[in-house]
């Protein structure tokens, strides 16, 4: 008689310190946890940092930062050329990443170096700890952001917000306003906030005053676009710059009602068989220039050229006194319509 216990996946296991769950499960980011699990799983072989990053699917800089996190927390011990579990003297074969050089504290009035377009940097754990110890305004900003997001920030998120202030140059109160705005539009992720902050830095929107102006304009644009989108049953999506311009013009500059926009849409579809913002703008502009701002006023307008015969059709629309062509159309509007039609056809 024989017995067998089929362990399957449980045949190969490795230990994870209880401290990871008890103290760090909430604070450590995904990169930190992945790095630790990978190192524990392969504790019997040397692991280069670039290999570590490639296997986990993160940047080399993030892998170095994650290893440094566990060293700083005391879970791993820095033995000079390698790492070992905390409380032991014999080093393991983990390859220690090169430590990041500490950054000098910047004077309060010193201009912050602006990043190149789309450049992305990230301060390490030790650099963040040094910055928070030196700059009370950044340290006090983090609890404010936690209150806005209603969550406790992990190390990766803390590094993101410290980087936004120290590298991209946004003042702490400006960043808090940005975080609040991103949450209000349903995009509270640190990646989205960082990408937006990078764009703001490039546009020199780094103070609370400039942030207020930017958010006020973004809110107006978003409100105008959503009003038009909902009225015309357009699926939720980000508008193009031209669409934003049209919506802002119709609702905020010309102060027209949504019913006027819907009427222009109906006439556009009747004429073209599809939605065209440029064509709609031509219709609405014609009404606006004739002083018709409501549906009632538009319907009271006399039909253009309804009873008027075509002039000089046999002579190719030539003027009798000058002998030159006399166009009766707006060239810029036609160019806009053609551009819009080309965009519609190329995107389909």
pLDDT at 241 over 70: yes
268, two tokens:
């556009």
Say what the pTM is: 0.57
Q: Across all residues in the chain, what is the average pLDDT?
A: 78
For the ranges 98-102, 119-123, 141-145, the maximum mean pLDDT occurs at: 141-145
**pLDDT score of 89:** 43
**pLDDT score of 204:** 93
Query: 85 pairs with which residues across the strands?
Result: 76
The CA distance from 86 to 89, in Å, is 8
Q: Please, what is the end-to-end C-alpha distance for the chain in angstroms?
A: 71
**pLDDT score of 66:** 81
pLDDT at 96 over 60: no
**pLDDT score of 330:** 53
CB atoms within 10 A of CB 285: 16
3-state per-residue secondary structure call for 149-212? HCCCCCHHHHHHHHHHHHCCCCCHHHHHHHHHHHHHCCCCCHHHHHHHHHHHHHCCCCCHHHHH
**pLDDT score of 1:** 67
pLDDT at 9 over 70: yes
Sheet holding 82-85, edge to edge: 76-78, 82-85, 94-95
Share of the chain above pLDDT 90, in %: 40
Supply angle C-alpha 337, 342, 343, rounded to 5: 100
**pLDDT score of 103:** 40
Which residues, in sequence order, are CB contacts of 165 under 8 Å at separation 6+?
A: 138, 141, 171, 172, 175
Rounded mean pLDDT of 122-132? 82
Rounded mean pLDDT of 114-139? 75
pLDDT at 27 over 70: no
How confident is residue 332, by pLDDT bands cut at 50, 70 and 90?
low
How confident is residue 19, by pLDDT bands cut at 50, 70 and 90?
confident
pLDDT at 205 over 50: yes
**pLDDT score of 93:** 42
Which residue is listed with tokens 């290893």? Answer: 67
**pLDDT score of 262:** 95
pLDDT higher at 8 or 54: 54
How confident is residue 113, by pLDDT bands cut at 50, 70 and 90?
low
Which residues, in sequence order, are CB contacts of 299 under 8 Å at separation 6+?
A: none
pLDDT digits (tens, 9 = 90+) for 251-310: 999 999 999 999 999 999 999 899 999 999 999 999 999 999 999 999 998 876 433 334
**pLDDT score of 99:** 44
CA 20 to chain centre: 32
The CA distance from 202 to 49, in Å, is 32
CB 21 within 8 A of CB 28: no
Query: 84 pairs with which residues across the strands?
Result: 77
Which residue is listed with tokens 């630790």? Answer: 36
**pLDDT score of 101:** 44
Share of the chain above pLDDT 70, in %: 74
Rounded mean pLDDT of 23-45? 80
**pLDDT score of 56:** 87
Alpha helix stretches (DSSP H) within 5-124: 18-19, 30-41, 49-56, 60-73
CB atoms within 10 A of CB 170: 26
């Amino acid at each position: 008689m024989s017995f067998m216990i089929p362990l399957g996946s449980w045949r190969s296991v490795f230990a994870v310190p209880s401290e990871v769950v008890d103290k760090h499960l909430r604070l450590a980011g995904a990169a930190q946890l992945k790095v630790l699990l990978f190192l524990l799983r392969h504790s019997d072989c040397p692991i280069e940092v670039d290999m570590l990053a490639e296997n986990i699917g993160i940047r080399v800089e993030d892998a170095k930062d994650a290893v440094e996190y566990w060293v700083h927390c005391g879970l791993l011990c820095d033995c000079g050329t390698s790492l070992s579990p905390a409380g032991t003297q014999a080093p393991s074969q983990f390859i220690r990443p090169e430590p990041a050089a500490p950054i000098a504290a910047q004077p309060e009035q010193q201009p912050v170096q602006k990043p190149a377009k789309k450049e992305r940097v990230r301060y390490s754990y030790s650099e963040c700890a040094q910055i928070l110890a030196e700059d009370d305004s950044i340290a006090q900003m983090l609890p404010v952001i936690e209150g806005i997001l209603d969550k406790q920030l992990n190390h990766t998120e803390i590094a993101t917000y410290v980087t936004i202030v120290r590298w991209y140059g946004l003042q702490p109160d400006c960043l808090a306003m940005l975080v609040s705005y991103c949450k209000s539009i349903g995009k509270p992720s640190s990646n989205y906030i960082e990408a937006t902050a990078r764009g703001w830095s490039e546009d020199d929107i780094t103070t609370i005053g400039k942030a207020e102006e930017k958010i006020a304009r973004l809110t107006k644009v978003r409100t105008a676009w959503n009003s038009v989108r909902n009225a015309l049953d357009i699926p939720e999506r980000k508008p193009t710059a031209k669409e934003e311009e049209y919506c802002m013009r119709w609702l905020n500059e010309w102060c027209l009602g949504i019913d006027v926009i819907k009427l222009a849409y109906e006439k556009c579809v009747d004429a073209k068989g599809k939605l065209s913002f440029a064509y709609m703008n031509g219709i609405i502009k014609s009404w606006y220039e004739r002083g018709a701002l409501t549906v009632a006023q538009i319907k009271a307008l006399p039909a253009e050229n309804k009873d008027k015969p075509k002039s000089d059709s046999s002579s190719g629309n030539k003027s009798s006194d000058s002998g030159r062509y006399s166009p009766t159309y707006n060239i810029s509007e036609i160019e806009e319509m053609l551009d819009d039609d080309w965009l519609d056809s190329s995107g389909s």
